[in-house]
Amino acid sequence: METLTTLDKAIRLQKVELFRDLETDGLALAASIAAQLQFPAGSVLFQENGPADALYIVLEGRVQLSRGGREIFATGVGETLGNWALFDEQPSLATATCVEDTSLLKIEREDFFDLLADHAEMTQTMFKALVKRVRALLALGLQAEQAGGAARNA
Amino acid sequence: METAPASRRPVSRLAEFFAFEPGEAGPTLLLTLYLLLAIASVIALKAASNGLFLTHFSARDLPFVYVAIALSASFVVGFYIRLSNRLSQHRLLIYTQLFAVSNLLVFWWMLSSDLPWFSAVVYVWTGIYAVIIPSQVWTLANHLFTTRQARRLFAIVGSGGILGAALGGLFAREVARASGTAALLPTCGGLLLACAGIVAYLWRTARQAAASTLRPKQSGPPASLLDSLQAVRGSRYLLLLTLLVSLSAILNNLVDYQFKFIVRQEITDRDQLTAFFAGFSSYLAFFSFLMQLLLTSRVMRWFGLNFAIFVLPISMLAGSTVLLFSTTLTAAVILKGADNAFRHSIDRSSVELLWVPLPARLKQQAKSFIDVVASRWADGLGGVLLVLFASVLHWSVVKISWVNLAVGLPWLAVAWLLRREYVQTLRSSIERPDISAEALLVEMAGASSDEITTVLTSADEKAVETGLGVLQYGQVNAAAANLGALLTHLSPAIRRKALAVVDSKRVPGCASEVEKFLYLDDQVSSLWLALDYLERDAAGSFRGLLERLLESPYVVLRATAAVRLLGRSAGQDQARAEAVFTAFVAGARQSEALHRQQAAELLGRGPGDAGCQDALEAFLDDPDPQVVRAAIVSAGQTGQGSLLSRLIDRAADRRWRTEVRRALAAFGPEILPDLREAMLDPARPAAVRSALPRAVASSGGQPAADLLVSILDTTDPGLQYQALRALNRMRRGAPDLQFDGGHVTSLALREVKQYYQYISLREGVPSNGSDAGAAFLRRTLAEQLRRKLDVIFRLISLLYPPKDIFDAFYGLRSGRPDLRSNALEFLDNTLQNPVRQMLLPLLESRAAERIVEHGRTFFGFGAGSYAESLGALLGESDPWLQSCAAYAAAEAGLREVAPALDSLEDAPNSLLRETVLAARERLSRPAASL
């Protein structure tokens, strides 16, 4: 895959849920800390229970996530891995392995925090994105609970 | 980039002529038809009732029926208000109309008996009908439209009234000639049935479309006429509105009497009289209709209430003056013609516009009362005046014109006051509550002093801290007894907070506890505060205390006491104090971070000529951020010019930018030229330069404001924006600051112009397809437009009350149609040209094409081709916009913009350079590989 310019990266980042609401120049700032990396098939991006300190966006190829040796799901082009790793220091819940030659954008937590510290206006957008995500998860949980209740009643 | 206007369809031209926004044409035209039918029936019935009444009675009897109408109207509306409490609005309208139809049929049947008194009953009934039925149309219109829609569309709706008057007059004349006056009653019933059908249809369809503006019925509507009266009494705006409507109605009565008196002298036959009145109304209405359609809507749009509200009173005053010198039929026709021409057109639109910004609840409480009862009472008062002047004092119609003038002049004054109140009402409608945290704390502290006393004795340290925090904003009397004990509390945070309260509230009798505090604490600022208290309240010699403290076992206390002594008049202890302080600073330089921080802090509090001040320079470069922060604050306190440049260099560092700002402000206005030089110095990092405007603002005063205004002229958008923000902050704190209106206006117009340019350029960028570069560019331009608007409002807020302008800005962005509309109307009535003229269209238009049209009209901008748009954007000075344009050009393979890209090859901005290089490389590839 050819080397991406900052704008190429910014355009890809706008599809990532976490960055979707950033203004375009904020996307460019986020793009400036996104490193473009190539991994051959079989490479391990991070290990289950190992340190998780970066967000990955798949540009090309496919990454398999597995837990306890069991495959959970695979992510393809445009999808992300490790969204939460940007915000907490908990170990990774799964192992990520490239199942084919894969090109990725990687944003490390430290760089991300430095960026937010220097650009307070971005922090607000990030909070909004996080809250949106938490709400969505809560809604999913409620739905599942209701579906479970309905099934029990049936 | 100039382009020829695109050809448009006739429907679009018509919509543009009437300024319809999408979804407005249907309800507007239906309301117009509704008013047309309602007014036609009113005119026809008035012609019939005039003919019937004047056949049996003389014109001198008219004042008596005016009074009768006023009295009857009160009963009718009292009942009407009770009914409105029980029925939904559309049902109320429809039931009223059906009831009127049944009345007309009964009247028709009764007229065959030819009873003279019955013609008076019909006259009174028509008088009430003539107010209620048109008022209902406007009530519905008020609910369907927002302020801005009302301003554009009420003139169109009003034209229905004028056309209705013309057609109603013709219709009445033809029916009266062919079938006699009585036949008008059932035919008008037919018109009313059509009105009921329109209301039912309009309610069903428009209600959903305008769901956000049709508010649900609110609680507490008026239950009686008295409730409505109280609602009016409680509002200055409604009182003025009542006065306006009343004075207008009184003058209308006087003029009506004069007109009819003169006509009756000329024409004696009943059917000829009916025909004259009908013909007069018709010809006048046709003229008015044309004027309304071609002129009124534009007058309302361009000038709004500022002009429209004065048209009728001025014309009535002019007509009355003419009548003073000529009592011919022509003079009477001119006076009554002016009344009729404007009353149901421009004046009605203006008065109805006055209702729109009011809250729905207030509107509901007062509208029926003012429209019907107050105006009928005013009619009655007009009748009483006529009885007095015409029947008792036997004044001639000419002399009565003096009464016209006596009523007309206050009417003008009320109109002027009401116009101001209208803007005030708009301001209130968009106002956002200003909740001050401090005010809330004051309220909390005042409300719960007993509880705070309990909290202060609690074992929960957090609770005690909170109690002390709240106490700073309230009365300490009840809690004073507990504060002394808290000064020696084990928790440093509680001790320090207690000291802050004791000192700021001047709590007496705590000297011994404060002295103990000195030996418990090691924070310089707290020790300093404690010494402040003791200097004020200690019983013995403060100097003696300081001398004793020089012998303290605690170095920081010794050093603090030494600095305190150095700041006092010379004494024997000065040399000793200097030695203690110098030793402390020297020792601290080699010591742990806390000592260095304490030394740095004390250096700011000591005299500037103390020998160890050079240590401050070293502390500014300390590896520990706390030490640097303390050194920065001290640098500001000592005002050492040699440290200024180093402070400026630290202005962008987030770890201590607040302290730098305060320190620079502490230097005072003397350093403003240095700050200006630093802001404009291209060699300094952009982040540093952008951080300085806030420091300038912190120093305050007119010179700082003038400096920041001069910075607005720079081409660096980041610095410019920060300067503007700093100015806004200054203006909020000091409303009396003066700004060069001409200069700020020209800057605002520059931004407005650029807004029009950007929106025109955006129209040239494709909005569909899979071109990611184009989509990204459109998104960037949309953001730029939002920012431009932000800058425009910030600039405007320097010239107008800032809170009002920001409230209007938030109203525009609120997403609520009524709030947005009131914000626009407020700005329209507040801003002055040329800003108003150029800004309002871009705020008001929903469709980008409309804004582009305005941009073409004002500046000659227009949407060009994609390549033209990109070429123009590459020529902009904003590197981010240029980068997006360069990327989009490469993505679209537009080789014609290559020369523009070449010129940016060596751009100073690294992102732009990178994007341009990649774009050029991409465009240089063979076409197939793009």
pLDDT of res. B129:
86
| Cα of A22 to nearest chain B Cα, Å | 10
Tallying the residues shown for chain B, one arrives at: 930
Overall average pLDDT of the B292-320 stretch:
81
pLDDT of res. A24:
92
pLDDT of res. B300:
76
User: Which residue, chain included where needed, has tokens 């409505």?
Assistant: B228
- The Cα-based distances of B277 to A23, A51, B54, B646 in angstroms read 67, 94, 12, 89
Contact in structure between B854 and B839 (CB atoms under 8 Å): no
How many whole angstroms separate alpha carbon B392 and alpha carbon B383?
A: 12
pLDDT of res. B475:
66
Say yes or no for a CB contact (<8 Å) between B780 and A14: no
How many whole angstroms separate alpha carbon B657 and alpha carbon B695?
A: 9
Pairing of strands A102-108, A70-75: unpaired
Across the interface, of A5, A11, A24, the residue whose CB is closest to B772 is A11
Which of B142-156, B169-183, B466-480 is least confident?
B466-480
How many whole angstroms separate alpha carbon B922 and alpha carbon B867?
A: 16
Contact in structure between B565 and B577 (CB atoms under 8 Å): yes
> Which of A5, A59, A77 to mutate against chain B (most B CBs within 10 Å)?
A5
Confidence bin at B244 (pLDDT 50/70/90) = very high
Give the list of residues 6+ apart from residue B104 with CB closer than 8 angstroms, or none.
B185, B186, B188, B189, B192
- With contacts defined as CB-CB under 8 Å, which chain A residues touch B773? 11
Q: Is the pLDDT of residue B214 over 50?
A: no
Overall average pLDDT of the B175-194 stretch:
83
CA B73-B81-B252 angle, 5° bins = 35
pLDDT of res. A28:
92
User: Can you read off the two tokens belonging to residue B515?
Assistant: 């002295």
User: Can you read off the two tokens belonging to residue B143?
Assistant: 């609910």
Q: Is the pLDDT of residue B164 over 60?
A: yes
Confidence bin at B2 (pLDDT 50/70/90) = very low
Which of A3-7, B172-176, B520-524 is least confident?
B172-176
Confidence bin at B915 (pLDDT 50/70/90) = very high
Is A112 or B330 the better-scoring residue by pLDDT? A112
pLDDT of res. B19:
67
- The string of pLDDT tens digits covering residues A30-59 is 999 999 999 999 999 888 888 888 889 999
Name the 3-class secondary structure at A65.
strand
Looking at the complex, does the CB of residue B772 fall below 8 Å from at least one CB of chain A?
yes
Overall average pLDDT of the B432-444 stretch:
59
pLDDT of res. B211:
44
Give the list of residues 6+ apart from residue B436 with CB closer than 8 angstroms, or none.
none
Overall average pLDDT of the B311-334 stretch:
84
What is the complex's ipTM, to 2 decimals? 0.88
- With contacts defined as CB-CB under 8 Å, which chain A residues touch B784? none
Which residue type sits at B738?
Answer: Q
B907 Cα distance to chain centroid: 42
User: Can you read off the two tokens belonging to residue B467?
Assistant: 């109690």
Q: Is the pLDDT of residue B907 over 70?
A: yes
> Which of A4, A6, A7 to mutate against chain B (most B CBs within 10 Å)?
A7
Question: Closest chain B residue to A120 measured between Cα atoms?
Answer: B654
Question: What does the DSSP assignment read for B279-341?
Answer: HHHHHHHHHHHHHIIIIIHHHHHHTTHHHHHHHHHHHHHHHHHHHHH--SHHHHHHHHHHHHH
- The string of pLDDT tens digits covering residues B843-901 is 887 778 888 888 888 888 877 888 888 999 998 888 899 999 999 999 888 888 888 88
Overall average pLDDT of the B307-314 stretch:
88
Say yes or no for a CB contact (<8 Å) between A6 and B915: yes
- The string of pLDDT tens digits covering residues B101-149 is 898 888 888 877 777 788 888 888 888 888 788 888 888 888 788 888 8
- With contacts defined as CB-CB under 8 Å, which chain B residues touch A5? 887, 914-915, 918
Question: Closest chain B residue to A119 measured between Cα atoms?
Answer: B654
Q: Is the pLDDT of residue B626 over 80?
A: yes
How many whole angstroms separate alpha carbon A129 and alpha carbon A121?
A: 13
Beta bridge partners of A46: A96
Say yes or no for a CB contact (<8 Å) between B654 and A10: no
Of chain B, the end-to-end C-alpha distance in Å amounts to: 28
Pairing of strands A54-60, A44-46: unpaired
Residue A63 is inside which H or E element, if any?
strand A63-67
Across the interface, of B779, B783, B887, the residue whose CB is closest to A7 is B887
- The string of pLDDT tens digits covering residues B797-814 is 999 988 899 999 998 888
Rg (CA), chain A: 17
Across the interface, of B776, B783, B914, the residue whose CB is closest to A11 is B776
- The string of pLDDT tens digits covering residues B534-555 is 888 766 777 888 888 888 888 8
> Which of A15, A19, A20, A25 to mutate against chain B (most B CBs within 10 Å)?
A25
pLDDT of res. B212:
42
Question: What does the DSSP assignment read for B441-500?
Answer: HHHHHHHTHHHHHHHHT-S-HHHHHHHHHHHTTS--GGGHHHHHHHTT-SSHHHHHHHHH
Where are the strands (E) in B355-422, listed by range? none
Is B14 or B717 the better-scoring residue by pLDDT? B717
| Mean pLDDT rounded to a whole number for chain A | 85
- The Cα-based distances of B356 to B145, B177, B227, B611, B661 in angstroms read 8, 42, 21, 72, 47
How many whole angstroms separate alpha carbon B594 and alpha carbon B627?
A: 8
- With contacts defined as CB-CB under 8 Å, which chain B residues touch A7? 776, 883-884, 887, 911, 915, 918
Confidence bin at B162 (pLDDT 50/70/90) = confident
pLDDT of res. B628:
92
Contact in structure between A7 and B884 (CB atoms under 8 Å): yes
How many whole angstroms separate alpha carbon A10 and alpha carbon B13?
A: 42
Q: Which of B630, B641, B632, B569 is nearest to B598 (CA)?
A: B630
| Cα of B5 to nearest chain A Cα, Å | 32
Q: What is the pTM of this model?
A: 0.75
Say yes or no for a CB contact (<8 Å) between A10 and B776: yes
Which residue type sits at B107?
Answer: F
* Cis amide prior to B607 (ω within 30 degrees): no
Looking at the complex, does the CB of residue A77 fall below 8 Å from at least one CB of chain B?
no
| Cα of A122 to nearest chain B Cα, Å | 14
Question: Closest chain A residue to B885 measured between Cα atoms?
Answer: A7
Overall average pLDDT of the B419-431 stretch:
85
Q: How many CB atoms lie within 10 A of CB B925?
A: 11
| Mean pLDDT rounded to a whole number for chain B | 82
Across the interface, of A5, A6, A24, the residue whose CB is closest to B779 is A24
Overall average pLDDT of the B149-170 stretch:
81
Which positions 12-51 of A are in contact with B (Cβ < 8 Å)? 14, 23-25, 28, 32
Beta bridge partners of A105: A36, A57
Give the list of residues 6+ apart from residue B211 with CB closer than 8 angstroms, or none.
none
How many whole angstroms separate alpha carbon B603 and alpha carbon B611?
A: 10
Overall average pLDDT of the B162-187 stretch:
80
Q: Which of B283, B349, B333 is nearest to B134 (CA)?
A: B349
Which of the listed ranges B338-352, B593-607, B753-767 does the model predict with the highest average pLDDT? B753-767
Question: Closest chain B residue to A3 measured between Cα atoms?
Answer: B918
pLDDT of res. B794:
94
Confidence bin at B15 (pLDDT 50/70/90) = low
Confidence bin at B14 (pLDDT 50/70/90) = low
How many whole angstroms separate alpha carbon B326 and alpha carbon B267?
A: 19
| Cα of B783 to nearest chain A Cα, Å | 7
